[in-house]
Amino acid sequence: MTTTSRARRRSGSGPSQRGCVKARPGFHRAQDFAEPKIPRAQGDPHVTERLDLPSTEWRRVSPKLVVVELVSWGLTFVVAGAAAIVLFFVVHIWWTGIVAAVVAIVALVNVIVVPRRVRAIGYQLREDDLLLRRGIMWLRFVAVPYGRMQLVDINRGPVARALGLSELKFVTAAASAGVTIPGLPEAEADELRDRLVALAETRRAGL
């Protein structure tokens, strides 16, 4: 070894090792684990949002549905409240007075909430499915493909029939329970049923 190389070793004038970390076997740098960035394809139909809502307006149900809802709820509240009042004044059970007060409060809340709940119901006929929207605080969207519709039925209760309203119910192959659109005028319900039946037959035929 020459005198010059010895001097370089002692003075550190050789290649600098500062700032260099030698990787140990089995250890990797953090950037080695970084996931590669995949560019998003423009116009790719498979890269979409969770729910693609069209810009068209929602079809609303009839405002008369408020009367149907209030009557059905009102009968329940009247029976429960009358039973609680009878038990309070006749049998003298003190806690039935609390039950009667709770029933009255719930009835008042329903009078306020039911009109808003009815206005929140809407549906759209899209290219491949029917989209139904319900709920006020917790919105629920249900998309029913035309090709999976097995049964489209119309129900008319006594109060709804007196107001000229119908309830459209359709059952799909994958759902155990049916999906309903309440508060439809009779003519609109009949027309929508025929259209959905025709679309379902067309989709199942593969046309």
Tens-of-pLDDT digits for all 207 residues of the chain? 444 444 444 444 444 444 444 444 444 444 443 444 434 434 333 333 445 555 568 899 999 999 999 888 877 777 777 777 777 777 777 787 787 788 888 888 888 899 999 999 999 999 889 999 998 888 889 888 898 888 889 999 999 999 999 999 988 876 556 789 999 999 999 999 999 999 988 887 765
Work out the mean pLDDT of the chain and round it to a whole number.
75
pLDDT of residue 192: 93
pLDDT score for 102: 83
pLDDT given at position 7: 43
**Helices in the chain by DSSP H: which ranges?**
3-11, 65-86, 95-119, 158-162, 186-204
Instruction: Work out whether strand 122-125 and strand 179-185 pair parallel, antiparallel, or are unpaired.
Output: unpaired
* pLDDT given for residue 124 in this prediction: 92
**Under DSSP, is residue 76 helix (H, G, I), strand (E, B) or coil?**
helix
Strand partners, 122: 60, 133
Amino acid identity, position 165: L
